Amino acid sequence: MRFAVGGALRRDFALYDCFDQPLRRSGRVLLRTGRDLVLLSDDSAPVSQKAEPGRGSLPAIAPGAVCDALTGLSPLRALMEHCAGRAETISVAVLDDMEKTCLRMQVITLSTRSGVATLVLMEPMRGYDRAHQRVVDALLDCEGASRGATGLWPVLLPGVQPYQSKPEVPITADEPAHGVAADLIRSSMSVFRQNEAGIIDDVDTEFLHDYRIGLRRIRSVLSLFRDVFPPEETEELQRAFSDLMAPTGRVRDLDVYLLGQSGFLALVPEALHPGLDLLFARMKTERDVAQRALARHLRSARYTARVAALEARLTDPEGLAPGPESERAALPYAQALIWKRYRKVCKLARRIDADTPDDDVHRLRIHCKKLRYLMEFFGPLFPKKKFRKILKPLKGLQDNLGLFNDYSVQQMELGRYLHPDNDAPVATDMAAAVGALLATLSRLQAGERTRVVASFAAFDNRAVRSVFEELFHQPEEARR
């Protein structure tokens, strides 16, 4: 065997994936070297196509082999550049004693500021499997070599873990409640901070969504972990996090409307679609303005300083003062909280009938949400299978209550578009469409309202009750 080495081709390169790295998780790597896009896979041959110029650092992916192979990606997530640098490609042919090519390889050296990786792309030739295997074996014997494309990640981006929007925080039964709360807060803190850059760059709508989930989880920990922190401290932190949340609401609301466009269109007769299109166009403009303001806010020195201070305080083990319940063991503490909340949900829900005021239904929704949060936070303490049994009907009830709430909020918000804004007259087409939409939403809301009793009944059955009882209800003497 002899190696014939061709000349080197030097180009720039970039590695793309969505933020949560679905390609990496499914054993794929999307690379661009110069104008060539290639999708590598741990278990099938690479595919390639030309990269078209796109938005910013991201190439447009026109229809083609790579486009076809980019399956299984969430429509809510966008690809983004994870790292970039220089690539040097050398073509190598493996020849036998007759100077016949038995194997072709491309040896691509990728260098970034944080690492250098050498990628060997094999192009096996029919009938020459033995030569291929020999070269693969020899290469795998080299120190640090690994098979598959995803091995690039740890080399090029050492320390970059796949992002998780809801990382599970391990809890032990006898760990003090204060420690659990602090861990949960730190974990959510890291989640929302990781999403800042993506919101600023407006990569996709999930960044803001996850940012808000992170903040909301922190606020829930602060409010639900009763007496674990001193009340003044809790109150102050609540205010701080609610201040962080405030500037994000408008963009998220508009994102939700814009993502749900086709659903809203389906709710009104086709003749009114042009009117809704006007509404969405207006929302899109509003959204982009609000997004830019939000990005400015997140980049501001004020925001950065505030978050840094919060982070420093919350990551410091001494940073959070202990409250009266801070030493309570996690398990009995969790059981008491969940049981109490469950009882509250049941008490409230059992009173609900057709004539109950909407405010009570909204209150039930809030309690269910809190119950759900508690169950999520303390989930690791309880047997998974039993947990799922009660989570499913709870989710069913929550979906019902959630829709009831969404329809009511949507009516309020969309109704605002019927009023002239800055003296600009409201287009008649749009007004007619919004009017029709409001009527449908009101009908849908009424429909959800009538289902509440039934969905609670599905939750409030003997099987669910007995699991709640078994998992969370402690005998009298165990309680304080």
Partner 1 sequence: MHVIACYSNKGGVGKTATSVNLAHAIARSGRQVLLCDLDPQGASSYYFRVKPSKRLSETRFFEDSDRFADAIRASDFAGLDILPANRSFRDFDRFLSRIRSKRSRLSKALVAGGAEYDVVVLDCPPNFSLLSENVFRAADRIVVPVPPSTLSERTFEQLVEFFKDQGLPRRKISAFFSMVEGRKSLHRDTMARMRAAYPKRFLAASIPYSADVERMGLRRAPVAEYAPRSKAAACYADLFAELAL
In the complex, least distance from residue 121 CB atom to partner 1, rounded to whole angstroms: 16
**List of residues contacting partner 1 (CB under 8 A):** 96, 98-101, 125-128
**Six-digit token string for 114:** 């944080």
- DSSP class of residue 116 equals E
Nearer to partner 1, 64 or 124 (CB): 124
In the complex, least distance from residue 150 CB atom to partner 1, rounded to whole angstroms: 25
Contacts of 393 (CB under 8 A, 6+ apart): 458, 459, 461, 464
Nearer to partner 1, 96 or 243 (CB): 96
Nearer to partner 1, 126 or 462 (CB): 126
Nearer to partner 1, 126 or 480 (CB): 126
Give CA–CA dist 364/341, Å, rounded: 11
Give CA–CA dist 403/479, Å, rounded: 37
In the complex, least distance from residue 125 CB atom to partner 1, rounded to whole angstroms: 4
**Six-digit token string for 467:** 């699991």
In the complex, least distance from residue 10 CB atom to partner 1, rounded to whole angstroms: 25
Under a CB-based contact definition with an 8 Å cutoff, are residues 246 and 268 in contact?
no
- DSSP class of residue 147 equals S
Under a CB-based contact definition with an 8 Å cutoff, are residues 222 and 229 in contact?
yes
Nearer to partner 1, 84 or 125 (CB): 125
**Six-digit token string for 217:** 């989880």
- Note the helical H segments in 38-170: 65-69, 129-140, 152-156
Nearer to partner 1, 133 or 285 (CB): 133
In the complex, least distance from residue 94 CB atom to partner 1, rounded to whole angstroms: 12
Give CA–CA dist 438/411, Å, rounded: 6
In the complex, least distance from residue 371 CB atom to partner 1, rounded to whole angstroms: 54
Under a CB-based contact definition with an 8 Å cutoff, are residues 417 and 280 in contact?
no
